[in-house]
Amino acid sequence: MINQELIHLKVILVEPSHTQQLIIKHHLTDFGIVDILTQTTGQDTLAMLANNPPDLIISAMYLPDMTGVELVHAIREHDSSYEMAFLLVSSETNIRYLEPIRQAGAIGILPKPFTSQELDIVLSATLDYLNPRKVRLDHFDIEDLNVLVVDDSHLSQQFISRILNDLGIELITIAENGRQAVNILQSQYFDLIVTDLNMPEMDGLQLTQHIRHQPSGRSIPILMITSEQNQGRLAAVEKAGVSALLDKPFEPASIKNIIMQLLN
């Protein structure tokens, strides 16, 4: 059964291959999406956004004039761009090339070829991103929640803050690494800490260990959002006392559910 919300979704598909355009458009129309504009270059896409902003941008990794990474970074230069979801479709598997996409706040990364089930998941995540619902907590108002976001990527900071704002969280403080977060924690108390793992000066593991060794920090929920794939590193993080781990890119519904579990 077609989700009626998808019928009204406006999509720009950035794909230099005509064959791939047809394949992806066929998948999208199967879900009821009909408002699909196609582009083959990054520059033409950027020019189109000013007058015809979409709900969702679907892009290949390698375009004639730039990469998908460069495209999403150019798009995210403006705060208003976070009103649009960004999805990468690529056969690229090298973490070196995918990591910047994850940090830039992509709604998902689909392989080539992808299945209908995989597309269904990212389209559901897109709807959650575009039509957020506030978190309801048992013991206090979400607007009073004081959250510290720790991430060295400006784009990731913006994306996570946008998701938290949409959930109803208004009090957000930003730190660019663990060392800066430690300094902030000396004078402020937070109800929730959302941190990246890999950061300069002091990473998320060291930050978690520091917080858990402070009497005031033993009960603070710590949510780590990371693209780290090394199981040894992730095991060390869990042992250090993080409350929950979430992959980048993440679905907005996932962070909402985790926050409800941690704080209720």
Whose CA is closest to 238, among 190, 204, 193?
Answer: 204
* Measured distance CA(50)–CA(84) in Å, rounded: 12
- Place 75 in a pLDDT band, splitting at 50, 70 and 90: very high
Please state, in angstroms and as integers, the Cα–Cα distance from residue 104 to each residue in 75, 109, 140, 182, following that order.
10, 12, 32, 25
The reported pLDDT for the residue numbered 57 is 97
The pairing of beta strand 244-247 with beta strand 222-226: parallel
* Measured distance CA(157)–CA(140) in Å, rounded: 25
Is residue 147 within 8 Å of 171, Cβ to Cβ?
yes
Percent of the chain with pLDDT over 70: 100
pTM, two decimals, is 0.87
Domains along the chain? 4-130 (3.40.50.2300), 142-263 (3.40.50.2300)
Judge whether residue 138 has pLDDT over 80. Answer: no
* Measured distance CA(56)–CA(58) in Å, rounded: 6
- CA angle 195/57/108 to nearest 5° reads 40
Judge whether residue 35 has pLDDT over 90. Answer: yes
What pLDDT digit, counting tens, does each position of 160-194 carry?
A: 999 999 999 999 999 999 999 999 999 999 999 99
Q: At what angle do helices 116-130 and 252-263 cross, to 10 degrees?
A: 60
Residues whose CB falls within 8 Å of the CB of residue 187, separated by 6 or more in sequence, listed in order: none
Beta bridge partners of 247: 226
The reported pLDDT for the residue numbered 1 is 62
